[in-house]
Protein backbone atom coordinates (compact mmCIF):
# COMPACT_ATOMS: atom_id res chain seq x y z
CA UNK A 1 0.00 0.00 0.00
CA UNK A 2 1.38 3.41 -0.97
CA UNK A 3 2.62 5.81 1.68
CA UNK A 4 -0.29 8.22 1.31
CA UNK A 5 -2.52 5.74 3.10
CA UNK A 6 -2.21 5.96 6.86
CA UNK A 7 -1.51 2.60 8.48
CA UNK A 8 -4.05 1.09 10.85
CA UNK A 9 -1.85 1.67 13.89
CA UNK A 10 -1.37 5.30 12.92
CA UNK A 11 -5.10 5.67 12.47
CA UNK A 12 -5.65 4.63 16.06
CA UNK A 13 -2.97 7.01 17.31
CA UNK A 14 -4.23 9.85 15.13
CA UNK A 15 -7.79 9.50 16.36
CA UNK A 16 -7.00 8.96 20.01
CA UNK A 17 -4.64 11.91 20.06
CA UNK A 18 -6.90 14.23 18.10
CA UNK A 19 -9.83 13.40 20.35
CA UNK A 20 -7.79 14.54 23.33
CA UNK A 21 -7.50 18.11 22.13
CA UNK A 22 -11.18 18.55 21.39
CA UNK A 23 -12.32 16.93 24.60
CA UNK A 24 -10.82 19.99 26.26
CA UNK A 25 -11.28 22.45 23.41
CA UNK A 26 -12.93 25.16 25.49
CA UNK A 27 -9.66 26.12 27.20
CA UNK A 28 -7.56 25.92 24.05
CA UNK A 29 -5.12 23.37 25.47
CA UNK A 30 -3.02 21.57 22.88
CA UNK A 31 -1.57 18.15 23.47
CA UNK A 32 0.66 15.93 21.38
CA UNK A 33 -2.32 15.18 19.19
CA UNK A 34 -0.44 13.80 16.21
CA UNK A 35 1.97 11.10 17.31
CA UNK A 36 5.45 10.92 15.93
CA UNK A 37 7.03 14.02 17.45
CA UNK A 38 7.39 14.42 21.18
CA UNK A 39 7.35 18.22 20.92
CA UNK A 40 3.78 18.16 19.66
CA UNK A 41 4.76 19.36 16.19
CA UNK A 42 2.31 18.18 13.57
CA UNK A 43 3.32 15.01 11.74
CA UNK A 44 1.51 13.51 8.77
CA UNK A 45 2.54 10.93 6.20
CA UNK A 46 -0.26 11.92 3.84
CA UNK A 47 0.80 13.64 0.63
CA UNK A 48 -2.01 16.21 0.52
CA UNK A 49 -1.32 17.30 -3.03
CA UNK A 50 -1.68 13.69 -4.11
CA UNK A 51 -4.76 13.26 -1.92
CA UNK A 52 -6.47 16.33 -3.38
CA UNK A 53 -5.64 15.27 -6.93
CA UNK A 54 -7.17 11.86 -6.29
CA UNK A 55 -10.26 13.29 -4.60
CA UNK A 56 -10.94 16.04 -7.13
CA UNK A 57 -10.05 13.81 -10.07
CA UNK A 58 -12.64 11.28 -8.92
CA UNK A 59 -15.16 14.07 -8.34
CA UNK A 60 -14.70 15.44 -11.86
CA UNK A 61 -14.86 12.02 -13.46
CA UNK A 62 -18.12 10.97 -11.86
CA UNK A 63 -20.00 14.20 -11.12
CA UNK A 64 -19.06 16.26 -14.16
CA UNK A 65 -17.67 14.17 -16.99
CA UNK A 66 -20.21 11.41 -16.34
CA UNK A 67 -23.11 13.84 -15.90
CA UNK A 68 -24.96 12.79 -19.06
CA UNK A 69 -23.55 15.62 -21.16
CA UNK A 70 -25.26 18.39 -19.19
CA UNK A 71 -22.09 20.41 -18.45
CA UNK A 72 -23.38 20.92 -14.92
CA UNK A 73 -22.73 18.67 -11.94
CA UNK A 74 -25.01 15.67 -11.52
CA UNK A 75 -27.12 15.19 -8.40
CA UNK A 76 -25.71 11.85 -7.30
CA UNK A 77 -23.93 8.70 -8.38
CA UNK A 78 -24.58 5.15 -7.29
CA UNK A 79 -23.29 1.63 -7.51
CA UNK A 80 -25.93 -1.08 -7.65
CA UNK A 81 -25.24 -4.73 -6.84
CA UNK A 82 -23.72 -6.85 -8.21
CA UNK A 83 -21.71 -3.84 -9.38
CA UNK A 84 -19.48 -2.47 -6.58
CA UNK A 85 -16.69 0.12 -6.36
CA UNK A 86 -14.25 -2.74 -6.73
CA UNK A 87 -15.88 -4.24 -9.82
CA UNK A 88 -17.33 -1.43 -11.90
CA UNK A 89 -18.14 2.21 -12.53
CA UNK A 90 -21.07 4.06 -10.96
CA UNK A 91 -24.15 5.41 -12.69
CA UNK A 92 -24.95 9.12 -12.47
CA UNK A 93 -28.43 10.53 -11.87
CA UNK A 94 -30.16 13.75 -12.86
CA UNK A 95 -29.27 17.30 -12.03
CA UNK A 96 -29.62 18.79 -8.58
CA UNK A 97 -30.74 22.11 -7.16
CA UNK A 98 -29.11 25.33 -8.26
CA UNK A 99 -27.53 26.29 -4.96
CA UNK A 100 -25.17 23.30 -4.98
CA UNK A 101 -23.78 24.14 -8.42
CA UNK A 102 -21.77 27.19 -7.30
CA UNK A 103 -20.15 25.19 -4.52
CA UNK A 104 -19.48 22.37 -6.98
CA UNK A 105 -17.67 24.82 -9.24
CA UNK A 106 -15.65 26.13 -6.29
CA UNK A 107 -13.92 22.74 -5.91
CA UNK A 108 -12.66 23.05 -9.50
CA UNK A 109 -11.41 26.56 -8.73
CA UNK A 110 -9.45 25.26 -5.75
CA UNK A 111 -7.75 22.70 -7.99
CA UNK A 112 -7.03 25.46 -10.53
CA UNK A 113 -5.31 27.51 -7.82
CA UNK A 114 -3.20 24.59 -6.65
CA UNK A 115 -2.01 23.85 -10.19
CA UNK A 116 -0.67 27.31 -11.01
CA UNK A 117 2.64 25.68 -12.01
CA UNK A 118 0.82 23.32 -14.39
CA UNK A 119 -0.75 25.49 -17.11
CA UNK A 120 -1.70 22.44 -19.13
CA UNK A 121 -3.93 21.15 -16.34
CA UNK A 122 -5.32 24.62 -15.69
CA UNK A 123 -6.23 24.84 -19.39
CA UNK A 124 -7.97 21.49 -19.13
CA UNK A 125 -10.04 22.68 -16.15
CA UNK A 126 -10.91 25.97 -17.80
CA UNK A 127 -11.74 24.72 -21.30
CA UNK A 128 -13.49 21.50 -20.29
CA UNK A 129 -15.32 22.52 -17.11
CA UNK A 130 -15.32 26.24 -16.31
CA UNK A 131 -16.06 27.50 -19.82
CA UNK A 132 -18.93 25.12 -20.75
CA UNK A 133 -20.37 25.14 -17.24
CA UNK A 134 -21.55 28.76 -17.24
CA UNK A 135 -23.91 28.67 -20.24
CA UNK A 136 -25.17 25.25 -19.16
CA UNK A 137 -25.96 26.57 -15.69
CA UNK A 138 -27.59 29.69 -17.17
CA UNK A 139 -29.88 27.50 -19.27
CA UNK A 140 -30.65 25.20 -16.35
CA UNK A 141 -31.44 28.15 -14.09
CA UNK A 142 -33.78 29.71 -16.64
CA UNK A 143 -35.84 26.53 -16.89
CA UNK A 144 -35.64 25.14 -13.37
CA UNK A 145 -39.02 26.50 -12.27
CA UNK A 146 -37.79 29.14 -9.87
CA UNK A 147 -35.24 30.94 -12.04
CA UNK A 148 -35.22 33.12 -15.12
CA UNK A 149 -33.14 35.06 -17.64
CA UNK A 150 -29.85 36.74 -16.77
CA UNK A 151 -29.23 34.37 -13.88
CA UNK A 152 -32.23 35.65 -11.92
CA UNK A 153 -33.43 33.27 -9.23
CA UNK A 154 -36.23 33.52 -6.70
CA UNK A 155 -33.75 32.64 -3.93
CA UNK A 156 -31.30 35.45 -3.27
CA UNK A 157 -28.86 33.10 -1.61
CA UNK A 158 -28.75 30.85 -4.69
CA UNK A 159 -27.64 33.85 -6.74
CA UNK A 160 -25.14 34.85 -4.04
CA UNK A 161 -23.44 31.44 -3.99
CA UNK A 162 -23.12 31.40 -7.77
CA UNK A 163 -21.95 35.04 -7.85
CA UNK A 164 -19.20 34.29 -5.31
CA UNK A 165 -18.09 31.30 -7.40
CA UNK A 166 -18.21 33.33 -10.61
CA UNK A 167 -16.12 36.11 -9.09
CA UNK A 168 -13.40 33.61 -8.21
CA UNK A 169 -13.29 32.24 -11.76
CA UNK A 170 -13.17 35.73 -13.22
CA UNK A 171 -10.31 36.82 -10.96
CA UNK A 172 -8.27 33.76 -11.94
CA UNK A 173 -9.04 33.53 -15.65
CA UNK A 174 -10.22 36.99 -16.72
CA UNK A 175 -13.13 35.37 -18.55
CA UNK A 176 -15.50 38.26 -19.44
CA UNK A 177 -18.50 35.93 -19.50
CA UNK A 178 -18.01 35.22 -15.80
CA UNK A 179 -17.73 38.93 -15.08
CA UNK A 180 -20.94 39.58 -17.02
CA UNK A 181 -22.72 36.80 -15.12
CA UNK A 182 -21.40 38.14 -11.81
CA UNK A 183 -22.72 41.65 -12.45
CA UNK A 184 -26.07 40.40 -13.72
CA UNK A 185 -26.48 38.44 -10.50
CA UNK A 186 -25.34 41.38 -8.37
CA UNK A 187 -27.96 43.61 -10.01
CA UNK A 188 -30.59 41.12 -8.83
CA UNK A 189 -28.99 40.45 -5.43
CA UNK A 190 -28.74 44.05 -4.31
CA UNK A 191 -32.55 44.17 -4.42
CA UNK A 192 -32.56 41.83 -1.39
CA UNK A 193 -31.55 44.85 0.68
CA UNK A 194 -35.12 46.05 0.38
CA UNK A 195 -35.44 48.00 3.64
CA UNK A 196 -38.81 46.31 4.14
CA UNK A 197 -40.76 48.46 6.60
CA UNK A 198 -37.49 50.18 7.41
CA UNK A 199 -36.09 47.04 9.02
CA UNK A 200 -32.76 46.64 7.20
CA UNK A 201 -30.96 43.43 6.29
CA UNK A 202 -31.34 41.29 3.17
CA UNK A 203 -34.35 39.17 2.21
CA UNK A 204 -34.09 35.46 1.51
CA UNK A 205 -36.50 35.30 -1.45
CA UNK A 206 -37.81 37.79 -3.96
CA UNK A 207 -41.41 36.82 -3.16
CA UNK A 208 -40.90 36.97 0.62
CA UNK A 209 -39.77 40.56 1.31
CA UNK A 210 -40.17 40.16 5.08
CA UNK A 211 -37.85 37.14 5.21
CA UNK A 212 -34.40 37.56 6.74
CA UNK A 213 -32.06 34.56 6.80
CA UNK A 214 -28.38 34.25 7.61
CA UNK A 215 -27.90 32.32 4.36
CA UNK A 216 -28.72 35.48 2.38
CA UNK A 217 -27.22 38.11 4.71
CA UNK A 218 -23.84 36.44 5.34
CA UNK A 219 -23.03 35.69 1.67
CA UNK A 220 -24.56 39.03 0.62
CA UNK A 221 -22.25 40.94 2.94
CA UNK A 222 -19.31 38.80 1.85
CA UNK A 223 -20.07 39.30 -1.84
CA UNK A 224 -20.21 43.08 -1.39
CA UNK A 225 -16.77 42.92 0.23
CA UNK A 226 -15.38 40.78 -2.59
CA UNK A 227 -16.74 43.29 -5.12
CA UNK A 228 -15.15 46.07 -3.07
CA UNK A 229 -11.78 44.34 -3.36
CA UNK A 230 -12.22 43.67 -7.07
CA UNK A 231 -13.16 47.29 -7.73
CA UNK A 232 -10.06 48.60 -5.97
CA UNK A 233 -7.75 46.12 -7.67
CA UNK A 234 -9.07 46.83 -11.16
CA UNK A 235 -9.38 50.61 -10.60
CA UNK A 236 -11.65 51.18 -13.59
CA UNK A 237 -13.30 54.53 -14.28
CA UNK A 238 -15.30 55.70 -11.29
CA UNK A 239 -13.83 53.00 -9.07
CA UNK A 240 -13.56 55.11 -5.93
CA UNK A 241 -17.26 55.89 -5.80
CA UNK A 242 -18.16 52.29 -6.66
CA UNK A 243 -15.81 50.89 -4.01
CA UNK A 244 -17.32 53.18 -1.39
CA UNK A 245 -20.77 51.93 -2.38
CA UNK A 246 -19.80 48.27 -1.94
CA UNK A 247 -18.09 48.91 1.40
CA UNK A 248 -21.04 50.87 2.74
CA UNK A 249 -23.42 48.17 1.52
CA UNK A 250 -21.42 45.50 3.38
CA UNK A 251 -21.18 47.56 6.56
CA UNK A 252 -24.92 48.22 6.67
CA UNK A 253 -25.76 44.55 6.19
CA UNK A 254 -23.12 43.51 8.73
CA UNK A 255 -24.44 45.94 11.32
CA UNK A 256 -27.92 44.54 10.88
CA UNK A 257 -26.63 40.96 11.00
CA UNK A 258 -24.80 41.47 14.28
CA UNK A 259 -27.76 43.30 15.80
CA UNK A 260 -30.40 40.67 15.04
CA UNK A 261 -29.02 37.39 13.65
CA UNK A 262 -26.26 36.41 16.05
CA UNK A 263 -24.93 36.65 19.58
CA UNK A 264 -21.53 38.29 19.36
CA UNK A 265 -20.84 37.48 23.02
CA UNK A 266 -20.79 33.74 22.25
CA UNK A 267 -20.16 33.73 18.49
CA UNK A 268 -23.38 31.85 17.78
CA UNK A 269 -25.06 32.73 14.49
CA UNK A 270 -28.83 32.33 14.32
CA UNK A 271 -30.57 30.98 11.24
CA UNK A 272 -33.48 33.28 10.37
CA UNK A 273 -36.23 35.65 11.41
CA UNK A 274 -39.13 37.53 9.80
CA UNK A 275 -39.99 41.20 9.89
CA UNK A 276 -43.29 41.82 11.70
CA UNK A 277 -46.08 43.95 10.28
CA UNK A 278 -45.04 46.83 12.50
CA UNK A 279 -41.51 46.73 11.06
CA UNK A 280 -39.77 45.19 14.05
CA UNK A 281 -37.69 42.01 13.72
CA UNK A 282 -39.37 38.87 15.00
CA UNK A 283 -37.78 36.34 17.30
CA UNK A 284 -34.90 34.53 15.56
CA UNK A 285 -34.64 30.80 15.05
CA UNK A 286 -31.51 30.24 17.11
CA UNK A 287 -30.30 27.03 15.50
CA UNK A 288 -26.58 27.37 14.70
CA UNK A 289 -25.55 25.94 11.32
CA UNK A 290 -22.04 25.57 9.92
CA UNK A 291 -22.52 27.56 6.74
CA UNK A 292 -23.92 30.55 8.61
CA UNK A 293 -21.01 30.44 11.07
CA UNK A 294 -18.69 30.37 8.08
CA UNK A 295 -20.12 33.24 6.06
CA UNK A 296 -20.47 35.55 9.09
CA UNK A 297 -16.86 34.72 10.00
CA UNK A 298 -15.71 35.38 6.44
CA UNK A 299 -17.60 38.66 6.11
CA UNK A 300 -16.24 39.93 9.42
CA UNK A 301 -12.69 38.96 8.48
CA UNK A 302 -12.95 40.71 5.10
CA UNK A 303 -14.26 43.85 6.79
CA UNK A 304 -11.39 43.77 9.27
CA UNK A 305 -8.75 43.37 6.57
CA UNK A 306 -10.32 46.21 4.61
CA UNK A 307 -10.69 48.65 7.50
CA UNK A 308 -8.53 47.55 10.43
CA UNK A 309 -11.43 48.03 12.85
CA UNK A 310 -10.97 45.67 15.80
CA UNK A 311 -14.63 44.78 16.19
CA UNK A 312 -14.63 42.87 12.94
CA UNK A 313 -11.68 40.63 13.80
CA UNK A 314 -13.01 40.06 17.32
CA UNK A 315 -16.29 38.80 15.86
CA UNK A 316 -14.63 36.74 13.13
CA UNK A 317 -12.67 34.88 15.82
CA UNK A 318 -15.84 34.42 17.88
CA UNK A 319 -17.82 32.97 14.94
CA UNK A 320 -14.98 30.58 14.12
CA UNK A 321 -14.50 29.62 17.76
CA UNK A 322 -18.17 28.75 18.16
CA UNK A 323 -17.87 26.27 15.29
CA UNK A 324 -14.70 24.68 16.69
CA UNK A 325 -15.78 24.65 20.34
CA UNK A 326 -19.45 23.73 19.93
CA UNK A 327 -19.84 21.88 16.65
CA UNK A 328 -17.20 19.18 16.69
CA UNK A 329 -18.43 15.61 16.67
CA UNK A 330 -18.42 13.97 20.10
CA UNK A 331 -16.96 10.71 18.76
CA UNK A 332 -14.45 11.89 16.18
CA UNK A 333 -12.58 15.20 15.78
CA UNK A 334 -14.55 16.38 12.74
CA UNK A 335 -17.09 19.13 12.25
CA UNK A 336 -20.51 17.70 13.02
CA UNK A 337 -22.87 17.15 10.14
CA UNK A 338 -26.31 18.73 10.07
CA UNK A 339 -28.27 15.76 8.84
CA UNK A 340 -27.80 12.98 6.33
CA UNK A 341 -29.89 14.26 3.44
CA UNK A 342 -30.95 17.37 1.56
CA UNK A 343 -29.35 20.80 1.48
CA UNK A 344 -27.94 20.44 5.00
CA UNK A 345 -25.28 18.09 3.70
CA UNK A 346 -23.46 21.02 2.10
CA UNK A 347 -23.19 23.21 5.18
CA UNK A 348 -19.85 22.01 6.57
CA UNK A 349 -18.11 22.54 3.25
CA UNK A 350 -19.03 26.22 3.19
CA UNK A 351 -17.58 26.76 6.65
CA UNK A 352 -14.38 24.92 5.70
CA UNK A 353 -13.94 27.04 2.57
CA UNK A 354 -13.83 30.26 4.57
CA UNK A 355 -11.95 28.68 7.45
CA UNK A 356 -8.87 28.64 5.22
CA UNK A 357 -8.66 32.45 5.32
CA UNK A 358 -9.09 32.35 9.09
CA UNK A 359 -6.10 30.05 9.59
CA UNK A 360 -4.04 32.15 7.15
CA UNK A 361 -4.80 35.34 9.11
CA UNK A 362 -1.85 36.80 11.10
CA UNK A 363 -2.19 36.65 14.87
CA UNK A 364 -2.47 39.61 17.21
CA UNK A 365 -3.99 40.38 20.60
CA UNK A 366 -7.49 39.74 19.22
CA UNK A 367 -6.48 36.53 17.48
CA UNK A 368 -3.87 34.95 19.76
CA UNK A 369 -1.55 32.14 18.72
CA UNK A 370 -3.34 29.68 21.02
CA UNK A 371 -6.66 30.23 19.25
CA UNK A 372 -5.08 30.00 15.82
CA UNK A 373 -3.36 26.75 16.76
CA UNK A 374 -6.68 25.31 17.83
CA UNK A 375 -8.22 26.33 14.51
CA UNK A 376 -5.35 24.71 12.61
CA UNK A 377 -5.74 21.54 14.66
CA UNK A 378 -9.46 21.48 13.82
CA UNK A 379 -8.77 21.83 10.10
CA UNK A 380 -6.13 19.15 10.15
CA UNK A 381 -8.06 16.70 12.30
CA UNK A 382 -11.18 16.98 10.12
CA UNK A 383 -9.23 16.24 6.97
CA UNK A 384 -7.10 13.53 8.58
CA UNK A 385 -10.15 11.61 9.77
CA UNK A 386 -12.03 12.14 6.51
CA UNK A 387 -9.13 10.96 4.38
CA UNK A 388 -8.27 8.03 6.63
CA UNK A 389 -11.71 6.60 7.33
CA UNK A 390 -14.42 8.01 5.08
CA UNK A 391 -13.99 6.68 1.55
CA UNK A 392 -14.33 3.22 0.00
CA UNK A 393 -10.98 1.56 -0.61
CA UNK A 394 -9.56 2.94 -3.84
CA UNK A 395 -12.51 5.28 -4.47
CA UNK A 396 -12.19 8.86 -3.29
CA UNK A 397 -15.83 9.77 -2.83
CA UNK A 398 -17.47 11.25 0.26
CA UNK A 399 -20.80 11.01 2.02
CA UNK A 400 -22.42 12.49 5.14
CA UNK A 401 -20.38 10.55 7.72
CA UNK A 402 -16.87 12.02 7.79
CA UNK A 403 -15.55 9.16 9.92
CA UNK A 404 -17.01 6.16 8.07
CA UNK A 405 -16.82 4.99 4.48
CA UNK A 406 -20.23 4.85 2.75
CA UNK A 407 -21.61 1.36 2.27
CA UNK A 408 -24.46 -0.30 0.44
CA UNK A 409 -27.83 0.62 1.94
CA UNK A 410 -26.65 4.07 3.04
CA UNK A 411 -29.70 5.83 1.53
CA UNK A 412 -33.41 5.23 1.00
CA UNK A 413 -33.31 1.74 2.51
CA UNK A 414 -31.88 0.45 -0.75
CA UNK A 415 -29.67 -2.40 0.41
CA UNK A 416 -28.57 -3.01 -3.19
CA UNK A 417 -27.26 0.53 -3.68
CA UNK A 418 -24.31 2.61 -2.52
CA UNK A 419 -25.24 6.23 -3.20
CA UNK A 420 -23.06 9.35 -3.16
CA UNK A 421 -25.01 12.61 -3.17
CA UNK A 422 -23.52 15.74 -4.75
CA UNK A 423 -24.54 17.67 -1.63
CA UNK A 424 -22.37 15.32 0.43
CA UNK A 425 -19.59 14.89 -2.13
CA UNK A 426 -18.90 18.63 -2.46
CA UNK A 427 -18.05 19.34 1.21
CA UNK A 428 -15.86 16.25 1.41
CA UNK A 429 -14.00 17.18 -1.77
CA UNK A 430 -13.82 20.77 -0.49
CA UNK A 431 -12.28 19.61 2.80
CA UNK A 432 -9.51 17.71 1.00
CA UNK A 433 -8.81 20.62 -1.36
CA UNK A 434 -8.71 23.14 1.47
CA UNK A 435 -6.34 20.92 3.48
CA UNK A 436 -4.03 20.64 0.47
CA UNK A 437 -4.17 24.40 -0.06
CA UNK A 438 -3.43 25.02 3.63
CA UNK A 439 -0.36 22.76 3.48
CA UNK A 440 0.74 24.65 0.35
CA UNK A 441 0.43 27.84 2.44
CA UNK A 442 2.53 26.31 5.23
CA UNK A 443 5.18 25.36 2.70
CA UNK A 444 5.23 28.90 1.32
CA UNK A 445 4.07 28.00 -2.17
CA UNK A 446 3.38 31.02 -4.36
CA UNK A 447 -0.06 29.66 -5.26
CA UNK A 448 -1.36 30.63 -1.83
CA UNK A 449 -1.61 34.39 -1.43
CA UNK A 450 -1.93 36.22 1.86
CA UNK A 451 -5.37 37.54 2.77
CA UNK A 452 -6.17 40.77 0.94
CA UNK A 453 -5.61 43.97 2.94
CA UNK A 454 -7.30 47.23 2.01
CA UNK A 455 -5.11 50.15 0.94
CA UNK A 456 -5.97 52.43 3.88
CA UNK A 457 -5.48 49.66 6.45
CA UNK A 458 -2.31 48.62 4.68
CA UNK A 459 -0.91 52.14 4.92
CA UNK A 460 -1.69 52.27 8.63
CA UNK A 461 0.06 48.94 9.17
CA UNK A 462 3.21 50.26 7.48
CA UNK A 463 3.37 53.43 9.61
Predicted confidence (pLDDT) per residue in 230-260, tens digit? 999 999 999 999 999 999 999 999 999 999 9
The answer to whether the peptide bond before residue 82 is cis (omega within 30 degrees of 0) is: yes
Cα→Cα distances 215→18, 101, 242, 323, 338, Å: 31, 16, 25, 16, 15
Q: What is the per-residue pLDDT across 222-238, written as a single tens digit (0 to 9) for each?
A: 999 999 999 999 999 99
11 has pLDDT over 50: no
* pLDDT tens-digit map of 382-427: 999 999 999 988 889 999 999 999 999 998 889 999 999 999 999 9
- 439-448, long-range: CB < 8 A, 24+ apart: 439/48, 439/49, 440/49, 440/114, 441/356, 441/360, 446/116, 447/113, 447/114, 447/116, 447/117, 448/113, 448/360
Contact between 75 and 422 (Cβ < 8 Å): yes
Digit-coded pLDDT (tens) for 360-384: 999 999 999 999 999 999 999 999 9
pLDDT(461) > 90: no
- Nearest in space to 137 (alpha carbons), one of 105, 168, 93, 94: 105
With beta carbons less than 8 A apart as the criterion, state whether 81 and 419 touch: no
Mean pLDDT of the chain, nearest integer? 90
Q: H-type helices in 190-269, by residue range?
A: 214-234, 239-260
- Domains of the chain, residue spans: 42-459
Beta carbons of 203 and 262 less than 8 angstroms apart: no
Q: Which class in CATH covers the domain with range 42-459? A: mainly alpha
CB–CB of 291/347 below 8 Å? yes
Q: How far apart are CA 261 and CA 108, in angstroms?
A: 32
Q: What is the pLDDT, as a whole number, of residue 43?
A: 62
Query: Collapsing DSSP states into helix, strand and coil, what is residue 274?
Result: strand
Q: How far apart are CA 243 and CA 235, in angstroms?
A: 9
Give the start-end residues of each E strand in 19-64. Answer: none
Amino acid sequence: MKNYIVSLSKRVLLLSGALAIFAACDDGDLGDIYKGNSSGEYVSDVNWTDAADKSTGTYIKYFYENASGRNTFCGSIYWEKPNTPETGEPTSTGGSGGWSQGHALDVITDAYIRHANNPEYQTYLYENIMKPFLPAFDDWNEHCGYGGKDFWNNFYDDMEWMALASLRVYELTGDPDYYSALMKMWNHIKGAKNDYKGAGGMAWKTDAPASRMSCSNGPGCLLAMKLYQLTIKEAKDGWEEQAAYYLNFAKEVYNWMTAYLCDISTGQVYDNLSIKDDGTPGDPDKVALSYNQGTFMAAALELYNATGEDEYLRNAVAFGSYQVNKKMDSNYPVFSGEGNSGDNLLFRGIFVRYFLDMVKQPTNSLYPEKTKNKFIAALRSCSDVLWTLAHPEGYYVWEYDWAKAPTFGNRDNREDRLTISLNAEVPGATMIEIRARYEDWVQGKATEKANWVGPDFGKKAEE
